[in-house]
Amino acid sequence: MKKLLLALTAVVLFAGSAVAGEKIVEVVNSDEVFQKGYIQVIGESEAGQSRYRAKRAAEVVAQRRMLEIYQGLRLSGKTTVRDGMLTSERVRTTVKGSLRGAVPCGESFDRTEGYARVCLRLNLHGHDSVYSAFDEIILKEPEALKVRDIPAFKPETLPEIMEPAVEKKVAEEKKEEVVAKVEAPSEVVEKVEVPVETAEAASEKIQEAVATPVDGIIVDVRDFDFKPALVNRILTAKNEVLFDPSKVLNQVLIERGCGGYTTDLQKARALLESWGSKSPMVLNGKTVQNVTDAVVSVEDAATVFAYDQKYNLLAQARVVFVLK
């Protein structure tokens, strides 16, 4: 009972060594790691040691735990970091190098029992992060990640994007024209045939959609077994690449990776807003390939392509995947 109370006291003290009021917990589940943007592990030493020895032992345990979680992350498709390390010297060297970027996030020492606990965090984004270590491989040596080489998407026809001001002016002119016709006197009353409503052509839908600026993309894949990875892509139903790391600026890739991940549409909008996106477009995924490639319709892809030509949203990785 006494040992249990001491252990609980150590946990409380350990939690207090981080940000005030925030309890330290491990972040090791793959989906959670990509959503939060870091791996966080806790190592604990054996009891009966001096403070220095206990701390060093706890650090070794935490580092071993960190490597274990890191190796389990997906590179792309069904390939994990561990798979990449077995087949690529570049990947193996990169992993060892990025592990040096892990930073302390809390520690405690139980004087009575003589054991220590140490927290380590490895960020996915930013300076000394996973993406900063992998950027060269992701951008220049994708074969090391076992990414299937498929053609880039190019729509057969590209819808013309009208400026919002021009669109408004055209709408007002049409309105004035209609009003003028209604107010114009006429002695002859003609029978007006009500036009039969027909399905709108896909190209017309695209044209209407792009009349309003879109500066971000939300890909809803909650109906499928989609997994976050270092390389996530958006493909078309014709098996062409709409979005992948090659579309992203180097520095943006380091800061955001292949976009963001959440489980809620409102959170997705909030995340995009923090990146400067004011009016994102929601794409409903049609299916998923190899658990990390989201597939959208060709029509949606053409619309995104048109937006990107004007607003350059893919280079800024303003993409958020909504997971189930």
- 49-94 tens-digit pLDDT: 999 999 999 999 999 999 999 999 999 999 999 999 999 999 999 9
Total structural domains within the chain: 2
226 inside domain: yes
φ/ψ (deg, to 5) at 81: -60, -35
Q: Are residues 108 and 247 in the same domain?
A: no
Bridge partners of 116?
A: 109
Q: Once rounded to an integer, what is the mean pLDDT over residues 317-323?
A: 97
228 inside domain: yes
b/e map 27-60, b = 16+ CB within 10 Å? bbebeebbbebbbbbbbbbeeebeeeebbebbbe
Residue 311 banded pLDDT, cuts 50, 70, 90: confident
296 inside domain: yes
112 inside domain: yes
Q: Are residues 140 and 160 in the same domain?
A: no
The three-class DSSP label of residue 193 is coil
Q: Are residues 139 and 230 in the same domain?
A: no
Q: What number of CA atoms fall less than 13 Å from residue 228's CA on the CB side?
A: 26
Tokens of 147: 């990414």
Q: Once rounded to an integer, what is the mean pLDDT over residues 105-131?
A: 95
74 inside domain: yes
Per the structure, the complete domain to which residue 37 belongs is given by: 2-145
Q: Are residues 129 and 164 in the same domain?
A: no
The single-letter DSSP state of residue 263 is S
Q: Are residues 79 and 93 in the same domain?
A: yes
- Residue 171 vs residue 161, higher pLDDT: 161
Mean pLDDT of the chain: 83
Q: Are residues 215 and 311 in the same domain?
A: yes
Q: Are residues 158 and 87 in the same domain?
A: no
Q: Are residues 126 and 157 in the same domain?
A: no
Q: Alpha carbon 196 to chain centroid distance?
A: 44
Q: Are residues 240 and 114 in the same domain?
A: no
- The overall pTM is greater than 0.75: yes
- Using the predicted structure, report yes or no on whether residue 174 has a pLDDT greater than 80: no
Q: Once rounded to an integer, what is the mean pLDDT over residues 136-144?
A: 79
Q: Are residues 156 and 289 in the same domain?
A: yes
190 inside domain: no
Range in 19-28, 127-136, 184-193, 201-210 the model is least confident about: 184-193
180 inside domain: no
Yes or no: say if 133 and 101 are a contact pair by the CB < 8 Å rule.
yes
174 inside domain: no
Q: Are residues 128 and 10 in the same domain?
A: yes
Strands lying side by side in the sheet with 287-289: 241-243, 233-236, 293-296, 287-289
CA 170 – CA 129 distance, rounded (Å): 49
Q: Are residues 100 and 230 in the same domain?
A: no
